Amino acid sequence: MALGACPQECALPQVALLLLLAHLPTLTFFSSVKTEPKEHIKTEVEEPPPMEVTVKEEPVESEEEDKLVISEPVKEEPMEEEEDEVPLVSRARYHHNHQQEEEGDDDDDAPLPKAGKAAAAAPKEVGSPTKKAKKEEEPVWKWWEETKRDDGLKWTFLEHKGPLIADPYIPLPHHVKFYYNGEAMQLSSEAEEVAGFYARMLDHDYTSKEVFNSNFMKDWRKVMTSKEKEIITDLKKCDFRRLHAHFVQQNEERKNRSKEEKKALKEKNEALIAEYGWCNIDGHRQRIGNFKVEPPGLFRGRGEHPKQGMLKRRIMPEDIIINCSKDSVIPKPPDGHKWKEVRADPSVTWLACWVENIQGQTKYVMLNAASKLKGEKDWQKYETARRLHQTVDKIRENYKADFKSKEMRIRQRAVALYFIDKLALRAGNEKDEDQADTVGCCSLRVEHITLHEEKDGKEYVVSFDFLGKDSIRYQNEVQVEKRVFKNLQLFMENKQEGDDLFDRLNTQILNKHLNELMEGLTAKVFRTYNASRTLQEQLELLTNDDDPIPAKILSYNRANRAVAVLCNHQRAAPKTFDKSMANLQKKIDDKKEQIDEAEKECKSLKKAAKSGGSQKEKMAHEKKKKALERLKEQLAKLEMSATDKEENKTIALGTSKLNYLDPRISVAWCKKYGVPIEKVYNKTQRQKFQWAIDMATAEYNFMGEPMDISRSNDCDDGGDEDYE
């Protein structure tokens, strides 16, 4: 049963199987406890479609909102334009200067030149109609109802304030001293700043690593004055403890700030966001993802990174390239500074970039996940995955046939693809020497797998053990087809540790082949496809229609978890895991005790009610019964979260939720089972997946007919339920 999670016979690593199997009984147990309170039954049975209930339940923002609500429930009518539209920074300018724009730009709200029928019909940007806090929600731009532009350009108009540069260094107070060889030493500002970076990390593992320390020392010495360089030669003689203590104290003080201070700080921060956090793209205001330039610091590579500890230098305006329209207000560099360059390249999505000094890579400032540019791409990604579904059977046949090919390179390609499909491995590009030694499928080396003709009663078992992205360990034992096994033996013949398993293959070759099988197909599409498919299948399998909401959510999380396991999304067990688990357990025990007690009381009341039979006594009994039910429900919820927590100990759900699971599957599930969307997506997630929440109905099927995104919403299930 749990095997249903796997794309094919047994894709899930063993852990997953164990987890799912081990907990299925629990699940059944819960689903059979019929103690739902009346309201629950109602929500599910009664008229108003669940969705409506949901909308009402939208958690209210906070204090301010309360005030407003008190004053008067604002009427439903969508308040037109005026206020809601404020945010467009320089609309006037935009229209003014925007002559190269084609015709159809007469509507204030549809600045996109090619907006077709969809845009015309679309209710323009609708703000939050009811609640009207002064910090109003940004009006939603339903870009998904517009026709996608097909010229490959990302924008016509782009205006922004440029990135926010890190504050200059402020030297430490004089009493905070660095000691060398037991003696206080006043460092130059430059050397002190870098010393501070190290001091901050004093109680981190990094500072106990040799590579980190030697890289640090080397770079630190580069910023020292010649005198300092002469003196400071040995890290072991450096004493950063005063600096460290200073920073700790600073943190402490920050935490203990008064309410007023905190509020002021928050406002200041919001002002910064208001100024730098937004851009105007084709007449719409959209949030920028990372508008702050990365401040200087010590490079923290993951795993055994050869460059860990190196100094990440301060980025100055002179390093930064700005990208924006010619006719926009060009961002102003800080006083006395210049940008490296200002260009207007509408073929890319970034607003600014610079080259980072550790790896020589370019870093970009881009829009945030809720933006059209990102959302459209995301949507497209899932449509590609759905197209794969249409042809995946053929592709599988195809690579299975290739297991027998006369050509080694074809066989290797086939086996690699088999792994990518079955195990959701990453493509595995080659890497440079100066990066951490991690691999993906194509870059697997012979030492990363072990072949077992037989293991634990199974034939042809391959065990994997390697470090993948972010140096996360991948360990798995998989039973494979005999042909795959024999091929692997062949590939490994006459090879030794360090040799590539697939020596006639790399990602370009593989992707080129894939592209011939299906337009737009690359190795990573399989990951997306198998992840999303697994979610949908697991949801179907695990959800019980008549479960109360918490049980449904547990099912959802389990389905999500199956995907996370498939994709090997791990996390370090939270430091306080055991403790908090024990706490939870105690709560559960307490609750059980309460229930025991309540049960006893209930029984005696029942007796009293029956024999004596006064109205009062009956009432008392009824009351107790209800209380008891409530308690039981609370207990079920607690136990639910306990299993959920336990199962989640070292598994991270976020990554798959955010990057691999077609959000329409989740939206459809919520609609189908009357689960409020907030139970599955938090606020930012709802923003990111607005397009899906808006477009998917309960009938959405990931494995159904893909949509043609470029021609927009003229197929599929034209859902129009508003559901925020």
Of residues 209 through 248, those in contact with DNA by CB under 7 A are none
Closer to DNA by Cβ: residue 458 or 649 = 649
Closer to DNA by Cβ: residue 250 or 489 = 250
Closest contact distance (angstroms) between CB of 254 and DNA is 7
Q: Does 31 bind DNA (CB under 7 A)?
A: no
CA dist., res. 304 & res. 211, Å (int)? 8
Residue 317 amino acid letter: P
Q: Does 710 bind DNA (CB under 7 A)?
A: no
Q: Are 366 and 346 in contact (CB under 8 A)?
A: no
Per-residue binding string, DNA, 420-439, x by CB under 7 A, is ------xxxx-xx--xx-x-
Please work out the total of residues on this chain that contact DNA, with binding judged by CB under 7 A. Answer: 85
Closer to DNA by Cβ: residue 37 or 612 = 37
Closer to DNA by Cβ: residue 527 or 621 = 527
Tokens of 700: 């959405």
Q: Does 328 bind DNA (CB under 7 A)?
A: no
Q: Does 659 bind DNA (CB under 7 A)?
A: yes
CA dist., res. 188 & res. 166, Å (int)? 20
| Through-space distance between the first and last CA atoms of the chain, rounded to whole angstroms | 34
Closest contact distance (angstroms) between CB of 100 and DNA is 22
Closest contact distance (angstroms) between CB of 453 and DNA is 30
Closest contact distance (angstroms) between CB of 375 and DNA is 9
Closest contact distance (angstroms) between CB of 673 and DNA is 19
Q: Does 655 bind DNA (CB under 7 A)?
A: yes
Q: Does 556 bind DNA (CB under 7 A)?
A: no
CA dist., res. 287 & res. 270, Å (int)? 13
Site for DNA in 600-619 (CB under 7 A): none
Which residue in 469, 483, 625, 672 binds DNA (CB under 7 A)? 469
Closest contact distance (angstroms) between CB of 541 and DNA is 23
Closer to DNA by Cβ: residue 266 or 458 = 266
Q: Does 295 bind DNA (CB under 7 A)?
A: yes
Closest CA to 528 of 661, 658, 618: 661
Site for DNA in 358-377 (CB under 7 A): 358-362, 364, 366, 374, 377
Q: Does 703 bind DNA (CB under 7 A)?
A: no
Part of the chain binding DNA (CB under 7 A), chosen from 13-21, 452-460, 596-604, 647-655: 647-655
Q: Are 296 and 313 in contact (CB under 8 A)?
A: yes
Closest contact distance (angstroms) between CB of 180 and DNA is 26
- Give the chain's largest Cα–Cα span: 98
Please give the backbone phi and psi of residue 185, each rounded to the nearest 5 degrees, phi first: -145, 130
Q: Which residues contact 671 (CB under 8 A, 6 or more apart)?
A: 50, 51, 696, 697, 698, 721, 723
Residue 95 amino acid letter: H
Which residue in 228, 282, 319, 378 binds DNA (CB under 7 A)? 378
Residue 78 amino acid letter: P
Q: Does 557 bind DNA (CB under 7 A)?
A: no
Q: Are 30 and 559 in contact (CB under 8 A)?
A: no
CA dist., res. 549 & res. 543, Å (int)? 10
CA dist., res. 232 & res. 209, Å (int)? 19
Closer to DNA by Cβ: residue 149 or 292 = 292
Part of the chain binding DNA (CB under 7 A), chosen from 301-309, 444-452, 457-465, 481-489: 301-309
Choose, from 418, 529, 556, 660, the residue flagged as catalytic: 660
Tokens of 277: 């956090």
Part of the chain binding DNA (CB under 7 A), chosen from 110-118, 288-296, 543-551, 689-697: 288-296
Closer to DNA by Cβ: residue 188 or 251 = 251
Site for DNA in 141-200 (CB under 7 A): 154
Closest contact distance (angstroms) between CB of 36 and DNA is 20
The verdict on whether 660 is a catalytic residue reads yes
Which residue in 301, 331, 333, 674 binds DNA (CB under 7 A)? 301
Strand pairing class (341-343; 321-323) = parallel
Site for DNA in 490-529 (CB under 7 A): 506-508, 511, 515, 522-525, 528
Q: Would you state the torsion angle of the CA atoms of residues 406, 411, 413, 414, taken in this order, to the nearest 10 degrees?
A: 120
Query: Any alpha helices (H) in 576-614, and if so which ranges?
Result: 577-611
Which residue in 229, 587, 625, 672 binds DNA (CB under 7 A)? 587
Q: Give me the numbers of helices (H) and strands (E) for the chain, helices first please.
A: 23, 15
CA dist., res. 705 & res. 712, Å (int)? 14
Please give the backbone phi and psi of residue 343, each rounded to the nearest 5 degrees, phi first: -130, 170
Q: What is the DSSP string of 439-490?
A: --STT-BGGGEEEEEEETTEEEEEEEEEE-GGG-EEEEEEE--HHHHHHHHH
Closest contact distance (angstroms) between CB of 209 and DNA is 13
Which residue in 316, 348, 549, 595 binds DNA (CB under 7 A)? 348
Query: Rg of the chain over CA atoms, in angstroms?
Result: 30
Closer to DNA by Cβ: residue 201 or 698 = 201
Which residue in 37, 48, 49, 654 binds DNA (CB under 7 A)? 654
Specify which residues 342 forms β-bridges with. Answer: 322
| SS (HEC) of 333-401 | CCCCCCCCEEECCCCCCCCEEEECCCCCCEEEECECCCCHHHHHHHHHHHHHHHHHHHHHHHHHHHHHH
Closest contact distance (angstroms) between CB of 459 and DNA is 30
Closer to DNA by Cβ: residue 301 or 317 = 301
Tokens of 509: 């070759």
Site for DNA in 563-582 (CB under 7 A): 567-572, 574, 576, 579-580
Closest contact distance (angstroms) between CB of 656 and DNA is 7
Closer to DNA by Cβ: residue 438 or 697 = 438
Catalytic residue IDs: 660
